[in-house]
Amino acid sequence: MKQVFIRVPTKLLLLIIGTLLLLSAGFSTVSLSRLNAEFKAYQAETLIQGQEQFKLHEKTLRENLRVWIESFADVVHLQEKNDFDDLTKEISKQFDALQLHHNVEKMWLIDSKKNILYSSSITPNYVLNSVNKTLDIQEPQHLLYCQVYCEQLLTVPLLNKQGDMVVVALAVSLVDMIYAINQSIKSEIAIVSFSKSDQAKLHEAQFLSASDIKLMRTLFVQPKKQISVEAIKAMGVQVDISSHSYLINLMSLATNNQRAYYMALIDDVTPITSEYKQYRYQFLLSAVLIFVTLAGLVYFVSSPLTHRLIVLSNALPLLARKEFDQFRRIKLKRKSFFSDELDILADATSELSYELEQLNLEVEQKTKELENIAMYDLLTGLPNRNMLNYQLRKSVANLSQFKHKIAVLFLDLDDFKKVNDSHGHGQGDRLLIEAANRVRLSIRNVDVACRFGGDEFVVVLGKIENVEEAVVVAEEILQRFKTPIKIGSSIFYVSTSIGIAFTEDKLIKAEELISYADIAMYEAKDSGGAQYHVYHSEMYQRVAHRVMLEGEVRQALAKNQFSLSLQPQLVAKTKRIYGFEALLRWQHPSRGMISPDDFIPILENSAHMIELGYWIIRRCFELAVMIKNHGLTDSRIAINLSAGQFVDQNLPNFLQGLLVEFSISASHFELELTEQTLVKNVDHTIRMMEVLKGLGFSFAIDDFGTGYSSLAYLKQMPVDVIKIDKSFIFGMLENHSDYQIIMSTIAMVKNLGLTVVAEGVETSAQLRSLMQNDCDLIQGYYFAKPIPEAELLDFIDAHIVDNHWKTKAL
């Protein structure tokens, strides 16, 4: 429904007009009816006055005449006379005087025998009737008789001495009476007749006599709507001529067979009606005046209000558009001593504007924060993973447009976990912040460095020409990390491993590129860290192979595909059995026997290797118990530990648990660590070695000579045995330098008070040479290949007697 707009002042105005109209209608009805009542009262009074005057005059006339007749009878001494002759004679003489002074028109003298003793004119029947009646009741009679005109008939009985009765009848004209009444009541008077019908109308009047006949005639034909005589008789009628107003009243006089006769009283009511008009005019005028004043008042009071309301309603949309300053620049409040609801409203809206502005600010700030949280890393302030994905996708998308290439550098801090574990997260966080700064400083403005998570960072070089540019950045980063990081009083030597993935392939996915860089980073880390590796597809193959292997190892464990082979170690001089080295075997259902060299290095750092390692250790405990029970009471089993396995915090607990479980001394075990494992984390390794040493385990350094560790370095560690790597043994007789290395190593080891083992001894010549040089222990195919565990006891029975090797001797 469409709404019609009406302004508030208009509405108020309409309300006032309505109220005023209602009031004036009510007021005028009341006053009119009061005026009407007054007018009616006036009319009734006029009528009564007329009637009274008429009766008074009529009576006076009558009484005067009666008195005159009776006095005249006395004058002629009627009561002393026996007849009426003198009376007749004398009264006839008086007829002229009566005519002149008393308006007597006609006179009759009639005796009781109906003899007309005198008559001034013919004697009509109504006179005779009246005389008869007078004779009957012997009292004076009077009656008003109208025919052509109206007259008053008076009949007075007179008696003579004899008691005979005579009646004097006098017909008196009413003309004089009319004038007399006219004079006394100031009303114009007329005698009128109407046909004797209920429908008789005013204008049908016949005038018998009138005080002002001209006025009467005009008045009687004037009313347009002709009113019946009956109605006029009841309430009169008001007739207006020119500026005058008249009230006509009809007073019934007499009736005969055909007509009714009335005395009409005409009053000039002009003063009354004009007063009435005046009153009405004044009323109207004051109503108009009040209306105009009120309208003006309404307008002046309400239009500023509505104006302010309109200003406000025009201003409010500014709030919706967040134009708060603009909104407040609009003057909503006026300077006034008194305030009103609109001022309160103005105050409220201005407060609202401040609150809305504040709210808006908060929303904007929160939105920004949210955006930052979504796009930036809170700790380092670097863009986060979300931003990285976005930027990288953008860069990849741009590849098709411009002829350039992109590179992704995946960084992982080396040994960051160590800092976190040993110095707490607070220090770790500060280290990360510094690391982030170094990364940030190493790149160009157009490049993006992001925190990928934990201690990993990713740099996107979105516009480069060749991979060398990426290498330059990687070298710059490595260079910056060479400076130690100082946090509080601590100094950290933190390096980073970097994997670089480089591409111009438009179809490559951002995630793929990151994972390639990640693979290359792993390679760098595996190669000792603090270096960069550029990704190539072989790396991917390796990773794929590793992932596959991991899955297979898990299955192999469940399916019991692993077993151990044990290779004896003999004391060189006595051929006494020193112990056995446990070597892992994997009997793959389809691929056959898989060499540990083919999967252990690949799984080096994986969780699967740790799980497998625990399986190996437990199996070694079982075998140690078995060998011991079989009679080799002081032989030991050498267990190879991978690097990942050795840093595992649970290792000491696990080993201790097994010692208790199998009730076997730790002296039956030797733990083999490679030089690589030692070098990776020297502090931790020493600590771990000391713990395990405390439990009673001894340590052997495997593959000695392949790494960089010097013996002086090894001196700090709780090492018992040094195993010279088999690669030196293989060529010791052909290659002089190998020989030199072996011999000097043996000498130095012995000098340190440690035991030395030669592994990979395949020939008697090798054995002989080693023995000449005082090598303690021998391990190699010359004596025995690793023996599958299932065959071990049989082997022992076949080859070992009283802890000594019996079959082969030098």
Interface residue list for Ca ion (CB under 5 A) = 640, 672, 702-703
- Contact between 569 and ligand C2E (CB under 6 A)? no
Question: In the numeric block, which tokens belong to residue 722?
Answer: 């040094």
55-94 burial string, b = 16+ CB within 10 Å, else e? eebbeebbeebbebbbebbeebebeebeebeebbeebeeb
Choose which of 501, 616, 632, 746 interacts with ligand C2E (CB under 6 A): 616
- Contact between 766 and ligand C2E (CB under 6 A)? no
Q: Are 371 and 363 a contacting pair, CB within 8 Å? A: no
What is the enclosing helix (H) or strand (E) of 459? strand 456-464
Chosen from Ca ion, ligand C2E, none, partner binding at 111 (C-beta under 5 to 8 Å by type): none
Shortest gap between Cβ of 803 and ligand C2E (angstroms)?
21
- Contact between 726 and ligand C2E (CB under 6 A)? yes
Residue 579, phi then psi, degrees to nearest 5? 175, -165
Given the complex with ligand C2E, which of 205 and 724 has the nearer CB atom? 724
Q: Which residues contact 606 (CB under 8 A, 6 or more apart)?
A: 546, 550, 644
Shortest gap between Cβ of 602 and Ca ion (angstroms)?
17
Residue 414 CA: distances (Å) to CA of 377, 423, 596: 21, 15, 27
- Contact between 780 and ligand C2E (CB under 6 A)? yes
Given the complex with ligand C2E, which of 119 and 706 has the nearer CB atom? 706
- Sign of the torsion formed by the C-alpha atoms of 800, 801, 803 and 809: negative
Beta strands in 43-113 (DSSP E): 104-111
Binding mask 731-750 for ligand C2E (x = CB under 6 A): --------------------
Q: Which residues contact 344 (CB under 8 A, 6 or more apart)?
A: none
Given the complex with ligand C2E, which of 192 and 721 has the nearer CB atom? 721
Residue 50, phi then psi, degrees to nearest 5? -60, -45
Shortest gap between Cβ of 524 and ligand C2E (angstroms)?
23
Shortest gap between Cβ of 619 and ligand C2E (angstroms)?
9
Q: Are 624 and 639 a contacting pair, CB within 8 Å? A: no
- Contact between 760 and ligand C2E (CB under 6 A)? yes
Given the complex with Ca ion, which of 383 and 705 has the nearer CB atom? 705
Question: In the numeric block, which tokens belong to residue 131?
Answer: 């005389």
What is the spatial distance between Cα 454 and Cα 452, in angstroms, rounded to a whole number? 7
- Contact between 762 and ligand C2E (CB under 6 A)? yes
Binding mask 209-248 for ligand C2E (x = CB under 6 A): ----------------------------------------
- Beta strand 777-779 with 755-759: parallel, antiparallel or unpaired? parallel
Shortest gap between Cβ of 545 and Ca ion (angstroms)?
23
Shortest gap between Cβ of 716 and ligand C2E (angstroms)?
23
446 half-sphere exposure, CB direction, 13 A CA radius: 8
- Contact between 644 and ligand C2E (CB under 6 A)? no
- Contact between 640 and ligand C2E (CB under 6 A)? yes
- Contact between 120 and ligand C2E (CB under 6 A)? no
Choose which of 597, 683, 734, 802 interacts with ligand C2E (CB under 6 A): 597
Given the complex with ligand C2E, which of 257 and 560 has the nearer CB atom? 560
Shortest gap between Cβ of 728 and Ca ion (angstroms)?
11
Q: Are 208 and 191 a contacting pair, CB within 8 Å? A: yes
- Could you tell me how many residues make up the chain? 810
- Contact between 583 and ligand C2E (CB under 6 A)? yes
- Contact between 764 and ligand C2E (CB under 6 A)? no
DSSP three-state, residue 260: strand
Choose which of 58, 105, 523, 702 interacts with ligand C2E (CB under 6 A): 702
Residues near ligand C2E (CB under 6 A) are 567, 582-584, 595-597, 600, 616, 640-642, 702-703, 726, 759-762, 780-781, 786
